[in-house]
Structure 1
Amino acid sequence: MKPIYLLLFAFLIFNCSSDDTSDSDDMPPEASLYFPPISGNEWETTTTSSLGWNDTALEDLYTYLDEKNTKGFIILRNGEIVVEEYFNGHNTNTTWTWFSAVKSLTATAIGVAQEEGFIDINNKTSDYLGNNWSSLTQDQQDLITVKHHLQMATGLQNTPENFIAWTCTAPLCMQYNATAGTKWQYHQGAFTQLQNILSQNTGMNFKLYIKEKILDQIGITGSWNELLGANIFSSNTRGMARFGLLMLNKGTWDENLIVSESYYNEMTTTSQQFNKSYGYLWWLNGKESFMIPGVQNVNGGSLIPNAPADMIAALGAQDQKIYIVPSQNLVVVRSGNAAGLEELASSSFDNELWAKINAAIN
């Protein structure tokens, strides 16, 4: 009887294998991503006509971008440049500040530091900055973890109307407002403490750490400046696109693992219950509700309704944008002055811009 059972087992295995192969043959092949060399200006391109994009709508998009104080604008598809336009005296080599889009870069560096064993985001902030980094009582301070800084949920007093106090990281400025993890507040000083954690626990200044572990690995050349306590990073528009491409590939540049996919997934998932559209210093589209900096109201619906639901974004003041759309293998970057009212992250410009993009590419 044993040979009969073996024959039946082999028959079942063959049929299951055949079915799996048939199903996979029916699925469209996954497009491979192109990665430009990490040095030089070489970057493969593809034409809008080859993708069937609407040239008339593209011209309307360019006019809109120009009118809205844009400096640089890039669209990548599968890593290749499809659109690269510059306005108002900008060019390929001109640098521009990322403003708060650098928060997403810093969150990525925190992930690298955790994987290298320097920190654990579930540990207390005081484990890495000492017991005197804030003005909180010891019991209040001990509830704050590194993760709370990534979530914007430290509970520290938030004063965005007073820029100097808002960016300050001195203990006197780190005042109690609520128990850690009980509310979402977009707090620049609390964010900057993450950069201090990198500087004090990796053996090098956070700027050098980010340069060696991320920027140099993916070909970004940039510079840092300080503005009233906030650390400001600048690069050319292609540098922003390179970072977007790294995130499109979930933390790996070509075959070079920069940050693990598991941390990437954690970083780009809703991080707390209050602002569903916020991960670890990343903005998330397509969620049921969202909050914006400086306001405690919860708004129903998606952060940017006209944008793809799976989009994640690094957003900075004056409408600095790095959009990543995994479902379409797209990276879209916009740099420049504010398109309208100056906002810290998202603005009405995002939704208007995506209406123009959709008209061109769909």
Structure 2
Amino acid sequence: MKRIAPLLLLAGCAAAPAVQAAPAPGCAAALAYSSAHQGVAVLVLEDGKVRCSSDGVSTPQELWSGTKSLVGLMAAAAVQDRLLTLDEPASATLAEWREDPKKAAITIRQLLAMTSGQASTVGRPRGYLDSVNAPLAADPGTKFQYGPAPMQIIGEIIRRKLAAASLDADPRRYLERRILTPVGVTIGDWRNGPDGAPLMPQGLVLAAEQWAKVGEFVRRGGTQDGKALVDPAALAELFKGSDANPAYGLTWWLPRASPSDDPVTRSTDIVAHAPTLPADLVVAAGAGDQRLYVIPSRRLTIVRQARLDIAALAAGKKSGWSDTHFLSFFLSPTGE
């Protein structure tokens, strides 16, 4: 009799348990590598079957900026619901931007790509309206500037769009209703910002087994039980980089060479090693080397979570984590 893993994942049905398959050849080495770098959980699924699992996959952990990638999925759902289009000007919703020529030209795509011009401090999100009112530090579309402000602005846009449609205006509840609940995700927590609204750039707390459900949803092309929960064309756009930073799509990291020399882009070595990685790899990433890797061509969803050393992060100390090295344990036929 096959041993059934305790993890409940989607395999065509929200209640279907994931089957425990034979361990991947590189599993033991990957677990050891993760543990040596503050790791607390690793979970690897191939075709929805568990191929590698550590302890701790049922314990909710802060995703930090891994939260941002859920904002992209939320936008793709909003496109399907005809609440917005990716290339519409944000000022169609944000009336206060219409008198400023530069802000009036900012698109929702640019906000999701972090090329909308707002400079903001990583880890220090302001409220939705304070983010909307923040000055521009660059012309829209010209520079990649990673930070919380664009995601908070998306939160305000979604809030206003939902209110205008006479729907529940809470962005978190919209994401839960449209995607997370249908695919069976149970949220551990989601912190609010200084204005009491759910944080869009960080704050989501998920167990590895729950984050993996998000990855499986992406791997399946945004479908559940054969039904598209988001607009397929909009979903595909999430995984295309910008001219300013080809390694960052619309809230997802990509293995692409990039001219951007910002420290966040350079914090992952998938940029430097792009030619050696699957071209369809997409990554949700957060501080402390929180990772969700999705590789449809290899039928893989990989979650890695770790303890965040805030003091070390503040001091600029490098963790030594290598995404490329970790992935090699599962991409090499021998696991080496």
TM-score of the alignment, normalized to the shorter chain, above 0.5: yes
Alignment partners' CA distance in 2, 1:330 and 1:201:
35
Conserved? CA contact 2:10–2:184, under 8 Å: no
RMSD: 3.1
Q: Which runs of 5+ in 2 are unaligned?
A: 1-8
Q: Which residue of 2 aligns with 1:309?
A: 279
The alpha carbon displacement at 1:302 in A equals 3.1
- In 2, Cα distance between equivalents of 1:296 and 1:101: 14
- The equivalent of 1:20 in structure 2 is none
Which protein is richer in helix relative to its size? 1
In 2, the alpha carbon distance for the partners of 1:339 and 1:171 equals 27
Distance 1:295 1:103, change over 3 A: closer
2:165 is the counterpart of 1:195: no
> Does residue 323 in structure 1 map to residue 296 in structure 2?
no
Contact 1:100 1:316 in 2 (8 A): yes
TM-score, with length taken from structure 2? 0.81
**Separation in structure 2 between the aligned mates of residue 347 and residue 129 of structure 1, nearest angstrom:** 42
Matched, 1:177 2:137: yes
Q: How many residue pairs align between the two structures?
A: 309
Aligned to 1:30: none
* 2:5 paired residue number: none
- Name the SS of the counterpart of 2:93 in structure 1: helix
Residues 228 and 320 of structure 1: CA distance in aligned 2, closer, same or farther (over 3 Å)? farther
The answer to whether the Cα contact below 8 Å between 1:70 and 1:335 also exists between their aligned partners in 2 is: yes
Offset, 1:295 = 6.4
Q: What is the alpha-carbon distance in structure 1 between the residues aligned to residue 320 and residue 106 of structure 2?
A: 30
1:334 maps to 2:299: no
Q: Is 1:152 equivalent to 2:128 in the alignment?
A: no
Q: Distance in 2 between matches of 1:280 and 1:176?
A: 19
Aligned pairs for 1:1-362 within 5 A? 35=11, 37-39=13-15, 42-48=17-23, 53-54=24-25, 57-86=26-55, 90-92=56-58, 94-131=59-96, 138-160=100-122, 163-164=123-124, 167-169=126-128, 170=130, 174-202=134-162, 203-204=167-168, 205-222=170-187, 223-226=189-192, 230-231=199-200, 232-270=203-241, 272-285=242-255, 287-289=256-258, 291=260, 294=263, 302-305=271-274, 307-338=277-308, 342=313, 348-358=321-331, 361=335
Q: Partners in 1 of 2:79 and 2:271 — Cα distance?
A: 31
| TM-score, normalised via structure 1 length | 0.76
Cα displacement (A) at 1:102? 1.5
Partners of 1:262 and 1:172 lie apart in 2 by: 27
Distance 2:302 2:309 in 1: 16
Letter in 1 for 2:62: T
Percent identity, please. 20
Amino acid at match of 1:46: A
Q: Would the aligned equivalents of 1:68 and 1:338 in 2 still touch at CA under 8 Å?
A: no
Q: What is the DSSP-based 3-state SS (H/G/I as helix, E as strand, rest coil) of the residue aligned with 2:280?
A: coil
Q: Higher RCO, 1 or 2 (CA under 8 Å, sep at least 6)?
A: 2
SS in 2 for 1:273: coil
Alpha-carbon distance, 1:293 to partner:
5.0
Answer whether contact 2:269 2:324 (CA < 8 A) is retained: no
How many angstroms apart in 2 are the aligned matches of 1:277 and 1:348? 18
